[in-house]
Chain A
Amino acid sequence: MRTTARSFTLLLVAAAVVTGAAACSAGGSSAPGPQASGATSASTPTASRATAPEGTITVFAAASLKATFTQLGTEFETANPGTTVTFSFAGSSDLVTQITGGAPADVFASADTKNMTKLTDARLVSGTPVNFATNVLEIATPPGNPAGVTSFADLANPGVKTVICAPVVPCGAATVTIETATGVTIPAVSEESAVTDVLGKVSSGEADAGLVYVTDVQGAGDAVQGVPFDESGTAVNTYPIAALSATKSAGLAQAFVDYVTGTEGQAVLSAAGFGAP
């Protein structure tokens, strides 16, 4: 029984490595003898931790990290030949539901501490989560800012069609925090359940303004125009990352976490508009 399970795992790892090798060779670099080394790392995990990480990991990351983490993944693979990083991007709470349900994830990067806490409480995280980025809200307007929004207080004007996130999702919770802190109440025309939906309403010109993260404004390029406001500092969103206890490649998972929190990772995140932790 044990041997069967073992050889099956071996087969899986081998298959994964072969796929990874194919991706590498497509990129132009040559990976010497990946099958053999992959098999070695699976059969002797302690040995692989000591040497350079190899193998495949799956990273579950908040949707707002899609652009930066896709870039980080490619860079990580280049820096560590023989490794493959695959991603699953979705809302943080969705990902938590999936991980709790047994989804095969090695690393989890959350858009807020609340969702990470759900996993640590469930003892699904190995070690302590590390905060790797922060994000604040910004006003997004259609190109040209047709309603002339210049401040957070402008959003209280009923003539300005503002779309925000619903209070139950993280960006909406941040919005409520700022409203409470400033005493400004936004008569929103819609309370969306995802940042992308807010962004979509603004970029299509349906709404005059939307409250999204700085990184979302930056990621949307020319489709929207950002209006920063000072009060955004009252609701700073912190992004934690952690390797998961269920991982079969603990070494590689930890290496990725280290990469994100290290110099290279921070540079990419900062370029995308994220703040330092």
Chain B
Amino acid sequence: MKHSPGHARVPLWVLAIATVGALFVVLPLVAIVVRVNWGQFIPLITSESSVDALLLSLRTSAVATVLCVVFGVPMALVLARTAFPGQRILRALVLLPLVLPPVVGGIALLYTFGRQGLLKEPMNLFGIQIAFSTTAVILAQTFVALPFLVLSLEGALRTVGTRYEAVAATLGAGPTTVLRRVTLPLVLPALVSGAVLSFARALGEFGATLTFAGSLQGVTRTLPLEIYLQRESDPDAAVALALVLVAVAILVVGLANQAGVRGRFSAGSLS
């Protein structure tokens, strides 16, 4: 670690504690890498069930991310740009899945979209069956991932403020034009990093999926569920798949950081 001149140096004891903290996070990852049966790695991760699980995970997470953007952007806008009674409570409720154990989320979804759930009448009317389908996986992932997008976008909207929007309005731009040509471009970095975080959260989703969607190869058994199952019989396969998930997660976090850096850069040029 180099200290560039002019930067405040960190006390040594802070550095020491930070190192312990970093090791705490990094060591388990190292442990996975060490534990991998490298001789069998490729066959293990290219087995039919593994590939099915990975492809299903990527596919459902992508759709869930799109849903997060479609619903999360308007939600963030309403939370950041309007004021109405009960808004604070609504905001807390919307962000609840962040702190809720995913299993609880799964149970809640079950009681909403399940065969005996709250929406069973309208769903029966249209012949919609969600349980044990890929749709259920996507719903579970969207449920847990949506707050990530709303939270990061709402923060960005508040930081950017309304001054540019006010100027745009006095230049004759209607609300939709302001949103399209000013607001969204200004928060684009936050939108991208929020979407990437949502994707990552959807990819790692386990509890709600297990509770709500079930587990069937190629239909509802995503990568985390496959890892959980393989652990019972074939720990080597579980570890190999875990490494794949870690690799995808690192890739995704890297992308989010990249977007974050760009966000800070353009935010810096605003001032």
Contacts and interface: CB of A to CB of B under 8 A. Distances in A.
Interface of A: 91, 93, 97, 161, 163, 166, 168-169, 188-193, 197, 200-201, 204-207
B183 to A, nearest CB: 42
Given A166-B215, A190-B216, A191-B217, A204 B110 contact: yes
B35 to A, nearest CB: 12
A201 B233 contact: no
Given A193-B215, A200-B211, A201-B214, 9 more contacts: A93-B231, A163-B132, A166-B229, A168-B234, A169-B229, A193-B229, A204-B110, A206-B110, A206-B131
A35 B229 CA distance: 45
Nearest to B132: A189
Given A188-B216, A190-B215, A206 B232 contact: no
B228 interface: yes
A189 B232 contact: no
A168 B114 contact: no
Interface in B128-152: 131-132
A192 B215 contact: yes
A161 B132 contact: yes
Contacts of A201: 214
24 contacts: A93-B231, A93-B233, A161-B132, A163-B132, A168-B230, A169-B229, A188-B216, A189-B131, A189-B132, A190-B132, A190-B215, A190-B216, A192-B210, A193-B228, A197-B211, A200-B211, A201-B214, A204-B111, A204-B116, A205-B116, A206-B110, A206-B131, A206-B214, A207-B131
A200 B211 CA distance: 8
A91 B232 contact: yes
Contacts of B213: 190
Output the residue of B131, B213, B220 with the most chain A CB within 10 A: B131
Nearest to B111: A204
B102 to A, nearest CB: 14
A149 to B, nearest CB: 16
Contact of A206 (B114, B216, B233): B114
Contacts of A193: 215, 225, 228-229, 232
Nearest to A91: B232
Interface size grouping (class) on chain B: 20 to 34
Interface string B206-238: 000011011111001100010011111111000
B115 interface: yes
A166 B131 CA distance: 18
Nearest to B212: A206
Interface in B107-129: 110-111, 114-116
Output the residue of B220, B225, B232, B234 with the most chain A CB within 10 A: B232
B214 A192 contact: yes
The 6 closest A-B pairs by CB, nearest first: A190-B214, A168-B233, A205-B116, A189-B132, A206-B131, A193-B229
Contacts of A168: 229-230, 232-234
B233 A205 contact: no
Nearest to A166: B229
A200 B111 CA distance: 12
Output the residue of B111, B115, B221 with the most chain A CB within 10 A: B115
A191 B211 contact: no
A131 B121 CA distance: 50
A200 B132 CA distance: 13
A168 B230 CA distance: 8
B229 A206 contact: no
A169 B232 CA distance: 6
Output the residue of A163, A193, A201 with the most chain B CB within 10 A: A193
Nearest to A170: B232
B210 A197 contact: yes
Nearest to B211: A200
Contacts of A93: 231-233
A180 to B, nearest CB: 18
A97 B232 CA distance: 10
Nearest to B237: A168
Contacts of B232: 91, 93, 166, 168-169, 193
A170 to B, nearest CB: 9
